[in-house]
Structure 1
Amino acid sequence: MATKPSPDKKSKHSGFLSGEGEMVSLIRKFDWSKTSVGPIEQWPQSLKTMVSMILSSKFPMFIWWGEDLIQFYNDAYRPSLGNNGKHPLALGQKGKNCWQEIWTIIYPLITQVMTMGEATWSEDQLIPIYRNGKLEDVYWTFGYSPIIGDSGEISGVLVVCNETTEKVLNSINLKESKDQLHFAIESAELATWEYNPVTNVFKSNKRLKEWIGIPLNTETNLEDAINNVVSSEREAVREAIKQSFEYSSGGAFNIVCTILHPITGVERMVRAKGRTYFDLKGEPYRFSGIIQDISEEEIAKKELADSRKSLELRNVELLKINNDLDNFIYTASHDLKAPISNIEGLLHAYMMDGSFDEEQQSLIDMMLFSIERFKTTIKDLTEISKVQRGLNIEPEVLTFSEIYNEVILDISELIKISNDPLIVTDFKIDTIKYSRKNLRSIIYNLLSNALKYSSSKRRPEIHLSTESTDDFVLFTISDNGLGISPENQHKIFNMFERAHQHVEGSGIGLYIIKRIIENSGGKIELQSTEGVGTTFKVYLKNL
């Protein structure tokens, strides 16, 4: 805190150097007799007035006075000088001595004001200054104005300024981020959209317009865009959008559908993933996201499914085809790791280079989600290869509670978005000799499925228990979720099959754990009622 002046000194400068700011205190204490402006008592009234004005202002201000351009500045300007730099030496210093590193930049402006009386204005001007122990690139918006002395002559320069370094750098970084984001979107061959529910304005990038046959220079509305979905799937899309617009849904939007080009007739199976943003009243104000063409992926799934059906009919070739499939999966899972890691690394690098607005961050989050989903698929393919090969993993003594706690940590994010689920455990038999990795895989897949297939109409309730039965440990998991229709129950353990197509997943989790369980001499049973819930009974062999 600045030291208050003595009563007699205060009375001398009453109404002129009143106040207790840092710069008021420094000006009072400074020996002005050693400068060309002389002692404070001899200052002209115009100088006193200007110094008083800047000291009382909350806006950064600076004064150059007289032929030597002696310097004054206020508390609001002080932070611009940083630490280990020009402050407090700049106070009372000659301008040329203070600003040697930028004198060639600012002196012509000062001369213009002092000799011609013409004010200047500069916006976001790069003027490096020495502060914080080094020369820094600093951007300023500032104006120089003439100060009229007591005799009517120009006696000084008033500087009103504001440092805009952060704004300028953010603008530069934002442009770079937009360019990088655009590159990432184009590299991933994604379509994008943005819809304003208030104005009914629907915008999309060039790729989506080409997919649905909209002229590049033409805008459309949401309903016209939906009409490019094949007729049998339009209502499902409308319902998914309607649900996303409900505040209680959290705004999530995720659907697979088929879009049709009205002229060429080209069909594409796509996954649309986005989010609705709500205002403080809970009303939607923006709906945006990305669309990925998954036609080839679906074709590949269909081809694999056809291959599976063919295998069932051709028992003689079963071993050969299984080996071919195993080799394909093994090679694909390894070959896909490098490009997806490169894409992920590039995206993280772009994220570290600057800040993003809400829309950009939403797109980045969706891309990261897609990358994680792809990585999960690669991981699943690797697991398929292992179970196909029947690789044996050394068993060890484990406890269900320990493995359960590890799985809970793994799926913590899924739990957070699952409407506050109630998960109850009752491990009457807690110890088993089994493969740690395989037991984790069994509990992880069954528990995460129970959360994914929970009903939006009620709070999820999941019960896990163990008991002893004959030569097995019976692990049971029950939920009150969507349930599985009778016609789908016999298919859910098949590769790439899912009970509900609108729930995201690769459809191989149950296939993998069934193979794991059966490879170790156990079995898995299913009991389910659509709309009520599902129970899995897993008979695990103590190894």
Structure 2
Amino acid sequence: MGALMRAYDWHNHPLGDMEAWPLSLKTTLRTILNSSFPMFLWWSESFYMFHNDAYLPALGKKHPDALGASARDMWSEIWYQIGAVAEDIFQNGTQFYAEDMPIYLDRKGFIEETYWTFSYSPAFNDDGQVAGMFCSCKEVTDTVLNQRRLKTLKDVTEALTLVSTLEEAGEKACAIMSENTSDIPLCGIYLLEEDSGEARLLGQAGIMLHETLLERPSLKEQGIADPLLQVLETRKPVLVKYSDLVADKTKLTAEQQDLPVALLPVALPGQSRVVGIIVAGTSSKLDYNTNYEDFHMLLGRQIAISFASVHARSETERRQAYMSEIFMQAPVGITILRGPEYIVDLVNPGICEIWGRTYEEVIGRPVLEALPEVADQGIRELLDGVYTTGVPFVANELLVKLDRNGKLEDVYINFVYQPMRDEQGNVIGIIAVAVGVNEQVEARLKIEAMNKELLATNADLDNFVYSASHDLKAPISNIEGLMKVFVDFLPHENLNSPDLQKVLSLIQHSIDRFKRAIADLTEVAKVQREDNHDVARVNLKQVVEDIQLDFEPQIKEKQATIETNVSPEAEIEFSAKNVRSIVYNLLSNALKYSSPARLPHIVISSELTPEFVILSVADNGLGLNPDDEIKIFSMFKRLHDHVEGSGIGLYIVKRIIENAGGHIELETALDKGANFKVYFKR
């Protein structure tokens, strides 16, 4: 500015050449020009303007015409505001100081809202008379605007803290924003529906009283598709005219039509989807600069956070309602007992039914006060143990006497006492989950009694079979002896009669069958009465080889192939004769029930597991229908009648192995053979 002052044509200016200027004016100007702080001097009663470089931003487009011009003319737009102050200082030598004073300047082609902190003081000539006005000033527009906008953000944040619906959030946010009409002369908040793609108005304020065109299904016809899509894609504000958003533009004033409006994205940081749009009017007296845009972005982000909070709160409430519904409908009894006095905090219908109390009778009371009859039944001690140690307690079929239906009843309960802890891990109560099991206990006791009775009956039956098998031996022996005596008394010529021989043969055959039946009964009785006595270390491989030698004639007769894969380590603690009986019966059946369509092929193998030694006898014989698997192990049950047999072999095998803690399995299919697996317990 020093160079500009020196180059100025002062000769034709009312102040005249610089050489003729008063010393006081030159001194003051020297001070101003050498200062980096904004300063100006208005000299003479015409207030001719002088200023330094630091003051140029305040002049804006008025520079360089402001130098030497009258302040009355150059600042005509604000003279109504500062003129009287300046005149008073010039006339009376007073001083003036203002802080954060709003001044509306025309320095950028529009009337701009600005804020200043400044002081006016008189400037003196060489005679000590007031000859002008000196000003030291600082623009604080950004500071004031930031404070104002921060307050709006703070108020919006506080207002949206406890909102419960999106509509409430939209209405409250617009109400707060409408209090800052300097930055937001109008506003509307829209939610972009994710499913339908429509924009739903949640709230509006200011002069926004007309139907807007912010409806996504017909954006192309409405003419705002490009700006809105730009917001959705860039997630940054886009400026449009308010008239672009209104269906009936005839209802708008000229000022409203040209009002700049920002479309602001409502989106959470880190999320790609824009969940809403804020239509925010902008001030016609401010530049839409970076600070303004940042304010809008923060506003949109805060509203987005509120939307997310509402959604999260709604989801939490939904889950809580769902959990409450589950709690109330749970098929078990649940209660929460708070504190060392075990105050009943929560109960569901299930626990009330077990206790025989109503909700009103127990809620909010110590549980031992609500159920006084259990005070001396050890319940307090169980609760104290869980509360003090923090170790859960589980009870099955605990008998508790409860006052239900006006009398003490025996109630069997399965329950768990689970300690409830706070965030620091301290036990603050007990969660009790209980199930009444009276019916199950009664059924179990009834079954136990029936089993006991059945065992007694089976024992009697075993004794009867054992006794009958022995008692029948003598009569059949007598019959057989009498038959021999009868034959000996017959004349020799009669013995050669074919008819007599046939009758004698039939009688003898019946006697032999009766003897075999008695022998089978005797064997069954032995199996049912004995308890795997004479236990010794038995090697299955050796037993299989011995039994195989016993069947050598049958094997040759049937041209059977026996494949043996029994491990030498397949050893068990078992009765040796019972093991032989098992292997004998299985190998006998494999040979006996071979298929006439193919030569017998029998595989005997073993498998060792940690719990069992498994012996398998598999053949390619007749096999069985899988539906008959259960029948095959029944007493006197035979499914193939073309060969001789009593039908007790597999029954005996099953009883022997089960009496020793093992079991037998069968894999079979009709005409595909059978595979018997005997599980000997190790």
TM-score interval, normalised by the smaller of the two chains: 0.3 to 0.5
Highest Rg: 1 or 2? 2
> Which structure has the higher relative contact order (CA within 8 Å, separation 6+)?
1
